[in-house]
């Protein structure tokens, strides 16, 4: 049975389309690295309030291949950003580029690790399979770089939590997105067994197995890509902070459990946190119907109370809810476009996939847990 559409991300290998591209670009590569993306199964827009969230890393992600430069070669780090079709010999001056430029973000990650491009004498090629919004392509890009550098003995050593804080600062200062801690942690602490319960306040991560017998998470793209550096993400955060202050709560913490809240954004964050705890129970019990109902409620809350959905995401998730074999559907991640997360019966997926394609949503795949960043063998796909 083929669970994946042609041209859609292929879960059989780790981001195999990206592996093929980087090894074609650098056939003499001496090292290669993979960092997964992530899907957040429940708990959106609460990580920056110290909330507990439930992400899972993915077999789709970002791949980097590298070859050391010969001494006679000019300069330091040369990067081939294959998905942007751009090649650049980086320099510290790239930090002066506009917010969000990939060269600025890359040099900012180096700087945060105590490095400059001039001191990294490598040629690297990078490509990913997370395009479209919502699967954390930015954190995956930063982590493939940071963890590959460590593998080469370069840059300061950091545990996952301190690296996540560093990358959060890079994202804020160099991409203009005041994000939380979830994405780099979901990736760096990812397991191949299932999801993670991340407590962004306590700094703890607990593996959570996917207890369903027949149901799987699927991802379907709504057809509208999104960027967060246009200010939308920061605006919803600012609106939330204002509502928290207005009702006398701390601006960067969840309102205490059981506290009476009035404003719609506060209703979202409070109810979303409760859905994470209920979702953990449903996962442990293998209760797909219960988890699906929580997903539907989460989408409603993100759309109506938090205002981060789009008509295309609403149409896709409403369509999904009416189809046999679907337990639930929600936008996942920041919102404003991108991928939707479904919980579906595995047997029903081929037919569902055809239906989504016929309705204008052809990009879809089953979400498989992808583990943590790691070195890739140079063997088969390369040569």
Where on the chain is the footprint of ligand GLA (CB under 6 A)? 40, 44-45, 47-48, 136, 179-180, 182-183, 333-334
DSSP type of residue 314 = H
State in angstroms the smallest separation of the CB of 134 from ligand GLA. Answer: 7
Report d(CA 112, CA 124) in Å as an integer.
Answer: 19
Report d(CA 291, CA 208) in Å as an integer.
Answer: 14
**Burial track 217-232 (b if 16+ CB lie within 10 A, e otherwise):** bbbbbbbeebbbbeeb
Name 274's Cβ contacts closer than 8 Å, sequence gap at least 6: none
Between 45 and 103, whose beta carbon lies closer to ligand GLA? 45
Using a 10 angstrom Cβ sphere, with 0-12 exposed, 13-18 middle and 19 or more buried, the burial of residue 302 is buried
Contact between 233 and 45 (Cβ < 8 Å): no
Between 174 and 353, whose beta carbon lies closer to ligand GLA? 174
DSSP type of residue 75 = S
Which residue shows structure tokens 């993306």? 37
DSSP type of residue 250 = -
Between 60 and 183, whose beta carbon lies closer to ligand GLA? 183
Contact between 19 and 328 (Cβ < 8 Å): no
Between 48 and 365, whose beta carbon lies closer to ligand GLA? 48
State in angstroms the smallest separation of the CB of 336 from ligand GLA. Answer: 10
Between 286 and 307, whose beta carbon lies closer to ligand GLA? 307
Between 48 and 361, whose beta carbon lies closer to ligand GLA? 48
DSSP-derived 3-state class of residue 375: strand
Annotated active-site residue in 183, 188, 296, 305: 183
Between 183 and 188, whose beta carbon lies closer to ligand GLA? 183
Name 305's Cβ contacts closer than 8 Å, sequence gap at least 6: 264, 265, 267, 268, 271
Please confirm, yes or no, whether 183 is among the known catalytic residues: yes
State in angstroms the smallest separation of the CB of 2 from ligand GLA. Answer: 30
Q: Which of 334, 316, 331, 298 is nearest to 182 (CA)?
A: 334
State in angstroms the smallest separation of the CB of 44 from ligand GLA. Answer: 4
Name 198's Cβ contacts closer than 8 Å, sequence gap at least 6: 47, 52, 53, 54, 55, 181, 182, 185, 186, 189, 204, 205
Q: Which of 225, 231, 186, 255 is nearest to 363 (CA)?
A: 225
Residues in the chain: 383
The residues that are catalytic are: 183
């Amino acid at each position: 049975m083929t669970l994946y559409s042609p041209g859609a991300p292929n879960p059989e290998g780790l981001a195999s389309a990206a592996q093929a591209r980087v090894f074609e670009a650098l056939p003499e590569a001496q090292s290669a690295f993979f960092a997964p993306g992530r899907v957040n199964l429940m708990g959106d827009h609460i990580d920056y309030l110290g909330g507990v969230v439930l992400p899972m890393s993915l077999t789709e992600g970002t791949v980097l291949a590298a070859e050391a430069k010969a001494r006679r070669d000019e300069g330091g780090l040369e990067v081939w950003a294959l998905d942007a079709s751009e090649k650049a010999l980086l320099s510290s001056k790239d930090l002066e580029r506009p917010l969000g430029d990939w060269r600025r973000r890359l040099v900012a990650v180096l700087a945060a690790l105590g490095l400059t491009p001039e001191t990294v004498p490598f040629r690297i090629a990078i490509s990913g399979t997370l395009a479209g919004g919502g699967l954390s392509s930015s954190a995956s890009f930063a982590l493939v770089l940071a963890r590959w550098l460590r593998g080469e003995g370069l840059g300061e050593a950091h545990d996952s939590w301190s690296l996540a804080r560093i990358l959060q600062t890079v994202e804020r200062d160099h991409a203009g997105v005041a994000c939380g801690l979830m994405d780099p942690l979901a990736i760096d602490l990812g397991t191949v067994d299932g999801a993670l319960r991340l407590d962004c306040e306590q700094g703890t991560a607990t593996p959570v197995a996917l207890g369903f017998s027949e149901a799987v998470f699927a991802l379907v793209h709504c057809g509208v890509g999104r960027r967060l550096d246009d200010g939308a993400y920061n605006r919803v955060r600012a609106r939330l902070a204002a509502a928290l202050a207005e009702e006398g709560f701390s601006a960067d913490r969840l309102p205490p459990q059981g506290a009476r809240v009035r404003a719609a954004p506060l209703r979202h964050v409070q109810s979303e946190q409760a859905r994470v705890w209920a979702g953990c129970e449903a996962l442990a019990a293998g209760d797909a119907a219960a988890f699906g109902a929580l997903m539907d409620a989460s989408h409603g809350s993100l759309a109506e109370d938090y205002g981060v959905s789009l008509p295309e995401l609403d149409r896709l998730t409403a369509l999904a809810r009416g189809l046999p074999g679907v337990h639930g559907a929600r936008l996942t991640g920041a919102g404003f476009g991108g991928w939707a997360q479904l919980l579906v019966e595995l047997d029903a997926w081929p037919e569902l996939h055809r239906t989504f394609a016929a309705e204008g949503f052809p990009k879809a795949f089953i979400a498989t847990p992808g583990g943590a960043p790691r070195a890739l063998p140079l063997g088969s796909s390369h040569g």
